Amino acid sequence: SPFFLAPPPHYAIVTPLPTAMFSRSKHLSFGCIAVLPRQYSPSGRPELFLSTSDGSVVVAEANPSTSPNNGLTDVDCRSRINDGGGMGSSSAPIISMAFAPNGRFLACFTSNSVLTVVSTTFESKVLEFNTSSGSSSPPRSMAWCGEDSVVLHWKNLGVLLVGPYGDWLRFPYGEDDEMGTAAMTGSRVGDSEVYLVQEMDCCR
């Protein structure tokens, strides 16, 4: 009879974080989350970066019992992320975040369609790029291509690659491409989808 191997068990340590209590006390909500791996965090433990509805980021340490403020710190990056050079509201919340593969930079996309790249410590800003001329809606996905470029995807608009000095390349991908693919393959329009897969040195 055939012999089937059971899949190996997976284990995870779940640490409860007092985020609900923090949000209630500050009268705010959380929008998106990004995890800084422990090899890049100062504490040597994973850190959770949570965007807030008032335009800032809260960093949650994985061991709140031994950290001040229950391990939650508002980095107060509102002016650095949202100054925008006059491009939008000073309180536009971050709706998408992604860490660079080296853990040194954080890409933030705000609700006013501005992509901002800052250092993980929020001490310096290295890029600000306004995407509102192409779309006022948020991208469906965002990832890094290597350590110096950010890739964003909008449905029916395509893929946008933004370089370290604000240089950009757009790769169209939308309904026209889907219709051509559907005609060749017999699939339905809308069946195809774009997924960004971040690697250490590229994005697939």
**What is the tens place of the pLDDT at every residue in 40-93?**
998 888 899 999 999 999 999 876 666 667 788 999 998 888 765 444 445 799
**CA nearest to 117, candidates 107, 109, 104:** 107
How does the average pLDDT of the chain come out, rounded? Answer: 82
For 111-148, list the strands marked E by DSSP: 114-119, 125-130, 141-145
Segment 97-115 mean pLDDT: 95
Tell whether the model's pLDDT for residue 171 goes beyond 70: yes
- The pairing of strands 30-36 and 47-52 is antiparallel
- Confidence band (pLDDT; 50, 70, 90) for 160? very high
Give the model's pLDDT for residue 67: 62
Give the model's pLDDT for residue 94: 95
